[in-house]
Amino acid sequence: MNEIFEELRTALYSVWHRRWLALAVTWGVCLLGWLVVAMIPNTYESRARIYVDTDDVLSDQLGIAGNGQEEITKVRQTLLSSVNLEKVITSTKLGEEITGRSEMDSAIARLAENVRVESEEDNLFSITAEVGVGGLSDPENAVLARNVVQKLLDIFREEHISGGRAEISSAIADLNEQLDERKLELESAEERRLAFEAQYPDLIGGPAALTTRVQNARTELRDIEADLAAAESALVSLNGQLANTPRTVAGGSGDVGPRGALLQAQSQLASLRSRGLTDEHPDVVSTRRQVDLLARQVAAEGTGQASGTPNPTYSSLLALRADRQASVESLQARRAAIQSMLASLAASQASEPAVAAEANRISRDYDVLRTNYERLLEDREKLRTRGDVIDETSQFKFDLVDPPVVPQSPAAPNRPLLLLGVLFAGIAAGAGVAYVLSQLRSSYATPQKLEKSMGLPVIGSISLTVSETAKELRRKRFKQFVGGCAGLFGVLVILLAIEIVSVGTIA
Q: What is the pLDDT of residue 32?
A: 94
User: Higher-confidence residue: 164 or 298?
Assistant: 298
**Whether residue 63 sits in one domain with residue 25:** no
**Cα distance between residue 126 and residue 369, in whole Å:** 49
Q: Is residue 66 part of a domain?
A: yes
**Whether residue 348 sits in one domain with residue 229:** yes
**Whether residue 67 sits in one domain with residue 6:** no
**Whether residue 442 sits in one domain with residue 349:** no
Question: In this structure, what are the phi and psi dihedrals at residue 76, rounded to the nearest 5 degrees?
Answer: -65, -40
- CA neighbours closer than 13 Å in the CB half-sphere of residue 272: 17
- Domain extent for 358: 207-362
Examine the fold and report which residue of 402, 425, 460 is the final residue of a domain before the chain moves on: 402
How far, CA to CA in Å, does 94 sit from each of 81, 109, 134, 304, 430? 17, 12, 11, 138, 43
**Whether residue 349 sits in one domain with residue 211:** yes
**Whether residue 69 sits in one domain with residue 21:** no
Task: Determine contact, residues 234/302, Cβ cutoff 8 Å.
Answer: no
Q: Is residue 377 part of a domain?
A: no
Closest CA to 411 of 28, 130, 68: 130
Task: Determine contact, residues 406/52, Cβ cutoff 8 Å.
Answer: no
Query: Can you tell me the mean pLDDT for 125-139?
Result: 76
Q: Is residue 151 part of a domain?
A: yes
How high does pLDDT run on average in the chain? 75
Q: Is residue 380 part of a domain?
A: no
**Cα distance between residue 406 and residue 199, in whole Å:** 83
Q: Is residue 182 part of a domain?
A: no
Q: Is residue 189 part of a domain?
A: no
Q: What is the pLDDT of residues 40-98, one digit of tens each?
A: 878 888 888 888 765 543 344 334 344 445 555 665 667 788 888 888 888 888 888 78
Q: What is the pLDDT of residue 489?
A: 92
**Whether residue 231 sits in one domain with residue 168:** no
pLDDT value at 29 more than 80: yes
- How many domains in the chain? 3
Percent of all residues in the chain with a pLDDT value above 90, rounded to a whole number: 6
Q: Is residue 227 part of a domain?
A: yes
**Whether residue 36 sits in one domain with residue 62:** no
Q: Percent helix, strand and coil across the chain, each rounded to 5?
A: 75, 5, 20
Q: What is the pLDDT of residue 396?
A: 53
**Whether residue 284 sits in one domain with residue 256:** yes
**Whether residue 330 sits in one domain with residue 275:** yes
The CATH number covering residue 153 comes to 3.30.1890.10
Q: Is residue 202 part of a domain?
A: no
**Cα distance between residue 220 and residue 312, in whole Å:** 38
**Whether residue 358 sits in one domain with residue 223:** yes
**Cα distance between residue 296 and residue 298, in whole Å:** 5
Q: What is the pLDDT of residues 394-447, one digit of tens each?
A: 445 667 788 888 887 777 778 889 999 999 999 999 988 888 887 776 566 666
Exposed/middle/buried for 51, CB within 10 Å: 0-12, 13-18, 19+? middle
pTM as predicted: 0.44
Examine the fold and report which residue of 341, 375, 402 is the final residue of a domain before the chain moves on: 402
**Whether residue 163 sits in one domain with residue 233:** no
pLDDT range class, residue 107, cuts 50, 70, 90: confident
